[in-house]
């Protein structure tokens, strides 16, 4: 009799476990994609992570891979349930969680609230990631000669007095400033070198007031032209 009761108890426990245990991932049900920086450059050697869904938010980390030379990656889900894909920030891309848009390319979002879970077996295609920098070259507007020693800073477009980060142009007039986000003012101070101070305008020149300027693009922005005082 005791043996029969034990068998029944084990059977009930097994049934309950089967009822509440999450479904295991189907063999071969992977998530594929290709990390591409805005502009179309594939991002090799970029870390991509996969998390189980936890009530509509990223939960347990289940897989980490590095993109191939062409930016492609393959992630292995742990369950037959939605997962979250994260592109990890580095010196080239800002990183964030991915939103899978059925009508176009997928995007790496600044805010996880804008991201979406991804189902096992999904093909994300191109996953567009914003650059994690603004870079360019400051030149003499009249001659085109590159200018060294020019201070360039990024400003929050809503709080222009706050310097987010800055760089000083090198011997080739080149600057590179780390950023996170997409709405910045670019302030160029050439006064110490005999050139104007001002804000980068949409045409690449420099204007004295923010009202005449526009938010700077991110990534490689080309030449910024300064007039001599």
pLDDT by 10s per residue, the chain, length 229: 444 444 444 444 444 444 455 555 554 589 999 999 998 899 999 999 999 999 999 999 999 999 999 999 999 999 999 999 999 999 999 999 999 987 778 999 999 999 999 999 999 999 999 999 999 999 999 999 999 999 999 998 888 889 999 999 999 999 999 999 888 999 999 999 999 999 999 999 999 999 999 888 899 999 999 999 9
Residues 83, 169, single domain; the answer is no
Residues 70, 113, single domain; the answer is yes
Question: How many domains does the chain fold into?
Answer: 2
Instruction: Determine, yes or no, domain membership for 36.
Output: yes
Instruction: Determine, yes or no, domain membership for 3.
Output: no
- The predicted pLDDT at position 194 comes to 96
Residues 88, 159, single domain; the answer is no
Q: Which domain holds residue 63?
A: 28-129
- The predicted pLDDT at position 26 comes to 56
Contact between 83 and 62 under an 8 Å Cβ cutoff? The reply is: yes
Question: Which of 104, 129, 154 is the endpoint of a domain?
Answer: 129
Report the alpha-carbon distance of residue 52 to residue 22 in Å, rounded: 11
The model carries a pTM of: 0.82
Residues 64, 142, single domain; the answer is no
- The predicted pLDDT at position 103 comes to 77
Instruction: Determine, yes or no, domain membership for 53.
Output: yes
Instruction: Determine, yes or no, domain membership for 215.
Output: yes
Question: How many residues in the chain?
Answer: 229
Question: Which of 106, 129, 152 is the endpoint of a domain?
Answer: 129
Q: β-strands 184-189, 174-178: how paired? A: unpaired
Residues 37, 124, single domain; the answer is yes
Residues 150, 205, single domain; the answer is yes
- The predicted pLDDT at position 22 comes to 57
Instruction: Determine, yes or no, domain membership for 15.
Output: no
Residues 175, 109, single domain; the answer is no
CATH code (residue 203): 2.60.40.1120
Report the alpha-carbon distance of residue 116 to residue 56 in Å, rounded: 9
Question: Which of 82, 97, 129 is the endpoint of a domain?
Answer: 129
Residues 84, 113, single domain; the answer is yes
Residues 156, 98, single domain; the answer is no
Residues 119, 163, single domain; the answer is no
Instruction: Determine, yes or no, domain membership for 10.
Output: no
């Amino acid at each position: 009799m005791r043996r029969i009761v034990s068998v029944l108890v084990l059977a009930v426990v097994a049934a309950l476990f089967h009822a509440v245990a999450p479904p295991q991932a189907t063999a071969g049900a992977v998530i594929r994609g290709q990390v591409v920086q805005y502009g179309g450059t594939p991002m090799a050697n970029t870390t991509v992570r996969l998390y189980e869904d936890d009530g509509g938010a990223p939960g347990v980390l289940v897989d980490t891979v590095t993109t191939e030379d062409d930016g492609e990656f393959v992630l292995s889900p742990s369950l037959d349930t939605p997962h979250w894909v994260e592109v990890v920030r580095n010196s080239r891309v800002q990183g964030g969680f991915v939103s899978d848009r059925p009508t176009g390319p997928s995007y790496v979002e600044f805010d996880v609230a804008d991201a979406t879970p991804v189902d096992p077996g999904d093909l994300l295609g191109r996953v567009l990631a914003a650059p994690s920098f603004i870079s360019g070259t400051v030149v003499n507007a009249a001659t085109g000669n590159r200018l060294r020693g020019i201070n360039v800073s990024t400003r929050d477009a809503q709080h222009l007095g706050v310097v987010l980060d800055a760089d000083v142009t090198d011997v080739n007039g080149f600057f590179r400033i780390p950023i996170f986000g997409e709405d910045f003012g670019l302030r160029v101070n050439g006064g110490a070198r005999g050139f104007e101070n001002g804000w980068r305008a949409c045409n690449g020149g420099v204007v004295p007031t923010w009202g005449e300027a526009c938010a700077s693009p991110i990534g490689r922005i080309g030449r910024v032209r300064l007039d001599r005082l």
